[in-house]
């Protein structure tokens, strides 16, 4: 489903689910002022079309034992993106992967128990990948979800 195929009600449903992924169909219907049957059909259509790709819990990384976080930018061999993406996804500390334009090719959100563990991940696991040419690490002092 292309973005231009979403109407205002669809966008409001998505916003409601981004705010609370556990919202019931009834509460979504009430929030966007449609019937429960219509809300149910629209949510299923958004899921079937791939607009909604899943539901998840927001968590506090520090309370999960992940007190150290960083954005790690990588310069990589361009032809290696597909295989590298799979290898990066297999590293448990890598929470998010994005292919980007600019001075770097990839940005990662990496979370670890400590700065020492974070250092080990960057210097050993990430820099040890043959496709990775260089890295730049920015430590996160504080972060907040906006949705």
pLDDT of residue 80: 86
Residue 122: pLDDT above 90?
yes
Query: What whole-number distance in Å separates Cα of residue 25 and Cα of residue 126?
Result: 42
Q: Which one, of 6, 110, 123, lies nearest residue 67 by Cα?
A: 110
Q: For residue range 12-39, what is the model confidence (pLDDT) as tens digits?
A: 999 999 989 999 999 999 999 999 999 9
Class assignment of domain 3-48?
Answer: mainly alpha
Mean per-residue pLDDT, 136-142? 96
In terms of pTM, does the model score above 0.85? Answer: no
CATH of domain 61-140: 3.30.70.920
Same fold for the domain at 3-48 and the one at 61-140?
A: no
**Would you state the pLDDT for residue 1?**
57
Tokens in use for 24? 């019931």
Ordered by start, the domain boundaries in the chain are 3-48, 61-140
65 Rama class: left (phi>0) / alpha (psi -120 to 50) / beta: left
Cβ neighbour number for residue 33 with a 10 Å cutoff = 9
Phi, psi of 128 (to 5 degrees): -80, -10
Band the pLDDT of 58: cuts 50, 70, 90.
confident
């Amino acid at each position: 489903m292309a973005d231009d195929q979403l109407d205002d009600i669809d966008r409001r449903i998505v916003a409601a689910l981004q705010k609370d992924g556990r919202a019931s169909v009834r509460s979504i219907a009430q929030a966007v002022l449609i019937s429960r049957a219509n809300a149910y059909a629209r949510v299923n259509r958004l899921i079937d079309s791939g607009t909604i790709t899943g539901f998840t819990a927001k968590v506090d990384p520090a309370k999960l034992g992940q007190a150290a976080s960083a954005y790690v930018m990588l310069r990589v061999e361009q032809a290696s993106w597909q295989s590298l993406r799979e290898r990066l996804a297999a590293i448990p500390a890598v929470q998010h992967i994005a292919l980007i334009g600019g001075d770097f090719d990839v940005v990662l959100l990496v979370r670890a128990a400590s700065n020492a563990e974070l250092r080990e991940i960057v210097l050993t696991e990430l820099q040890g990948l043959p496709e990775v040419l260089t890295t730049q690490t920015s430590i996160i002092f504080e972060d907040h979800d906006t949705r």
